[in-house]
């Protein structure tokens, strides 16, 4: 447990699409007490909204039923500080928003683990930047509740994802890793092949279609062929649907430059493998002087929230993520 906690706490981000538990970048350090309180209350309200959405899907179950009460108390404690300081709290930005909930209860707990760890990190930042003793005391209490109580409760019901060091991989896990690498190479080769062909035929603007329409099909086909789930993700997304799976969320927060691995209690192996940019990529992911003519207009039209420009040659662009079931390692073992 302790190892898991420290393993996970060295990192940070989330899962599902759009309005889930914060795929947003960590915000700049707040400068005023109001900004600190606003950041804290927004994160508590976000958690409440997500936990309520989980209960709407899976019923009033523990640990969500208990923890949502605790989060409401946290919100009330923060509101008291606004009153004490004569400040006006912001409107609740999460009211009425549709929140995506993962498919299974265990994944909802996994997502909540990510949220609580991120919440703890937000408080690290806020505590360091707050001069008011009373507010700091509230922040410390709320952080303690997240990291000592909520996190443990969610871990008891989650999938048990934990980081594996490359040296600690068992023989079966090494087979799973090989599978992940094979699937990654297959998907990358296919994608690059189609991209180059399309650029030759229709220029970069014509090739945007390959990325937007073909990439998901290529991922699906590579996944089916290799018996894995596979996709691409980044901390700067072009398509908000390319969120990392929940097991990769905290790793993505760390922006690893080399491959990282996770395993869960059911024997799944998760691999996160870096993708770097080369010259051709810059036609669609570079700064304004690198982008090919017409590309910017088309991206503006297709991807309203595009964050994936401004990169330089050789830079990290994102990662392939591959999730390999236990059977991949076991089959390989039997075949030996």
Given the rule CB under 6 A, which residues bind ligand HEC?
192, 195, 204, 207-208, 211-212, 215, 232-234, 237-239, 242, 275, 277-278, 280-281, 283-285, 308, 317-318
In the β-sheet with 269-276, what is the strand arrangement from edge to edge?
162-164, 260-263, 269-276, 316-324, 229-233
The residue assigned the tokens 């007490």 is: 33
Nearer to ligand HEC, 249 or 277 (CB): 277
CB distance 44 to 116 below 8 Å: no
Compute the least distance from the CB of residue 199 to ligand HEC, in Å. 6
Compute the least distance from the CB of residue 296 to ligand HEC, in Å. 11
Instruction: Give the end-to-end CA distance of the chain in Å, rounded to a whole number.
Output: 34
Nearer to ligand HEC, 74 or 238 (CB): 238
Length reported for the chain? 336
Compute the least distance from the CB of residue 18 to ligand HEC, in Å. 13
Nearer to ligand HEC, 130 or 242 (CB): 242
Nearer to ligand HEC, 146 or 309 (CB): 309
Compute the least distance from the CB of residue 49 to ligand HEC, in Å. 25
Compute the least distance from the CB of residue 314 to ligand HEC, in Å. 11
The residue assigned the tokens 């980044």 is: 234
Nearer to ligand HEC, 147 or 281 (CB): 281
Compute the least distance from the CB of residue 36 to ligand HEC, in Å. 31
Nearer to ligand HEC, 176 or 234 (CB): 234
């Amino acid at each position: 447990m302790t190892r898991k906690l420290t393993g996970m706490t060295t990192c940070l981000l989330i899962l599902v699409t759009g309005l889930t538990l914060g795929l947003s970048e960590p915000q700049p350090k707040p400068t005023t007490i109001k900004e600190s309180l606003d950041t804290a209350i927004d994160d508590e309200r976000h958690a409440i909204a997500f936990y309520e959405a989980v209960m709407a899907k899976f019923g009033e179950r523990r640990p969500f039923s208990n923890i949502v009460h605790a989060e409401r108390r946290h919100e009330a404690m923060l509101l008291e500080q606004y009153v004490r300081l004569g400040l006006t709290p912001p409107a609740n930005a999460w009211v009425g928003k549709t929140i995506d909930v993962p498919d299974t209860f265990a994944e909802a707990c996994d997502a909540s683990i990510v949220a609580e760890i991120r919440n703890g990190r937000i408080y690290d930042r806020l505590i360091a930047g707050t001069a008011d003793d009373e507010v700091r005391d509230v922040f410390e209490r709320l952080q303690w509740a997240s990291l000592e109580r909520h996190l443990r409760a969610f871990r008891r019901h989650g999938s048990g994802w934990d980081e594996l060091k490359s040296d600690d991989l068992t023989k079966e896990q090494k087979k799973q890793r090989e599978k992940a690498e094979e699937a990654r190479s297959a998907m990358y080769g296919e994608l690059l092949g189609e991209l180059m062909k399309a650029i030759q035929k229709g220029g970069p603007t014509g090739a945007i279609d390959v990325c937007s329409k073909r990439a998901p099909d290529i991922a699906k086909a590579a996944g089916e062929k290799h018996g894995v789930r596979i996709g691409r993700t980044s901390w700067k997304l072009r398509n908000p649907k390319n969120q990392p799976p929940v097991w990769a969320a905290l790793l993505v927060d760390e922006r690893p430059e080399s491959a990282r691995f996770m395993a869960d209690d059911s024997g799944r192996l998760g691999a996160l493998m870096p993708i770097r940019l080369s010259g051709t990529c810059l036609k669609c992911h570079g700064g304004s002087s690198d982008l090919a003519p017409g590309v910017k207009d088309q991206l503006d039209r297709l991807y309203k929230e595009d964050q994936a420009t401004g990169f330089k040659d050789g830079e990290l662009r994102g990662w392939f993520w591959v999730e390999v079931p236990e059977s991949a390692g076991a089959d390989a073992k039997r075949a030996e």
